[in-house]
Amino acid sequence: MDSLSIYEVSPRDGLQNEAAVVSPEGKVALIEALVASGLRDIEITSFVRPRWIPQLSDAAELVRMLPRHEGVRYWALVPNQVGLERAIECGIRHVATFLSASETHNKKNVNRTVRESLASVEELIGVARDEGMEVRGYISTVFGCPDEGDVPVENTLRIGERLLSAGAQTLALGDTTGMADPAQVERVLAAVTTSLGVGFDRIAVHFHDTRGTALANAVVAYRAGVRQIDGSVGGMGGCPYAPGASGNAATEDLVNVFEQMGVSTGVDLDRLGAAGCLAEELVGRELPGRFHLYWKGARQRVAKPSLAARGRSA
């Protein structure tokens, strides 16, 4: 059977965009539920300055509290050398770096030019690899920028080449603002693999569902050869620079569709649905994932039989 790896980002990319600040205990419960569903790559936090993202200010405490499970890899986003040092001190062995293919988005996101960010990220990757860590390099706004519109694929190729040369094992191509369409995904993936001479085993994709295209884009990416796709339980998250963004590709939607296509994800959809409901309780709002809403509704119908059904049982 064909297989697909889901890289779960809800504890980091999901929670950092929520108004609610979830306690470390709540985050541990969510991560444990995700692990119980079968997810094996989970991005748990980011080592950023607490004032930048208060929702993730407990990074070190969270890492100390997390139980270790064989075969489960906990990832952390590191914005700079200080963040990397904190991750190393906490015992994190898998880190992700990031910068944007769009100059405007990069300046808004980290207050640096792309050139400045790239030099910093290259140095960071070198240190992480010297420490024996695995590194994932995110490139944001690959498929479009809300300020600049179309982003030339040459931007992504130039950055991707530098990240790979610095030692990143995986390039994660981000549709940060949900502007991608399936035809564009095909073109970008073909350009990246051909021009950079890299196999699909080193490419991941990260789609947002701002315009309702995340699932279609994921299927196209898989058919092109990608075997790692990012998801966030319940579709939690979003992007502060994409007005109306509805969040990341929902993990339940990805698992449901690919399993129906005969592609093994190794994830138990029922347990994943329970994790989605827990996430909803933690953030205090309904999450938008399509299968999540279906699963929750089905469970509620079973828990609360109709008046007619109750009358028949009487």
Catalytic hit among 90, 145, 239, 277: 239
- Tokens 């969270």 label which residue? 62
Side chain identity, residue 306: S
Cβ neighbours of residue 1 closer than 8 Å, sequence gap 6 or more: 262, 263, 264
DSSP-derived secondary structure letter, 55: G
List the structure tokens of 119: 């030099």
239 is catalytic: yes
Nearest by Cα to 233 from 205, 176, 180, 271: 271
Question: DSSP 3-state assignment of 261?
Answer: coil
Number of other CB atoms surrounding residue 186 within 10 Å: 15
| Cα–Cα distance measured from residue 235 to residue 254, given in angstroms and rounded to the nearest whole number | 10
Q: What is the set of active-site residues?
A: 239
